[in-house]
């Protein structure tokens, strides 16, 4: 796959996401609801998105910690193996 093809897919995905967000916000702001109802709905959606974002961040942090520990263990093993090779000489 060429570099331009991958870049094109990324640009399309970013554009689609941005367009969806703009469309969603526009629909919310132009919907025939009272200000109080709109504020409640926006607050609920904000809380929902915020909770999902926190869950995602926690998942990424836990995976990152696991990967860091594995990398650290591999580095220690490699160091020990290198030291053993040096001692043989």
What are 40-49's pLDDT values in tens digits?
888 888 888 8
Query: d(Cα 25, Cα 41) in Å, to the nearest integer?
Result: 12
For residue 1, pLDDT beyond 60: no
Report the pLDDT value the prediction gives residue 57, as an integer from 0 to 100. Answer: 86
Q: What is the pLDDT of residues 16-40, one digit of tens each?
A: 888 888 888 888 777 777 778 878 8
Going by the DSSP 8-state scheme, the letter that residue 31 receives in this structure is S
Contact 38, 28 (CB under 8 A): yes
Which two three-digit tokens encode residue 19?
Answer: 């367009």
Report the pLDDT value the prediction gives residue 38, as an integer from 0 to 100. Answer: 77
Model pTM?
A: 0.42
Query: d(Cα 57, Cα 49) in Å, to the nearest integer?
Result: 12
Report the pLDDT value the prediction gives residue 2, as an integer from 0 to 100. Answer: 60
Query: d(Cα 67, Cα 61) in Å, to the nearest integer?
Result: 10
- Report how far apart, in Å, the C-alpha atoms of 46 and of each of 6, 52, 61, 86 are: 32, 10, 22, 59
């Amino acid at each position: 796959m060429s570099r331009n093809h991958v870049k094109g897919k990324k640009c399309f995905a970013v554009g689609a996401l941005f367009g969806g967000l703009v469309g969603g916000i526009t629909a919310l702001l132009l919907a025939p609801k009272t200000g109080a109802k709109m504020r409640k709905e926006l607050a609920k959606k904000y809380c929902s998105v915020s909770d999902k974002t926190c869950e995602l961040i926690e998942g990424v942090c836990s995976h990152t910690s696991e990967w860091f520990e594995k990398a650290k263990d591999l580095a220690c093993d490699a160091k020990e193996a290198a030291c053993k090779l040096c001692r043989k000489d």
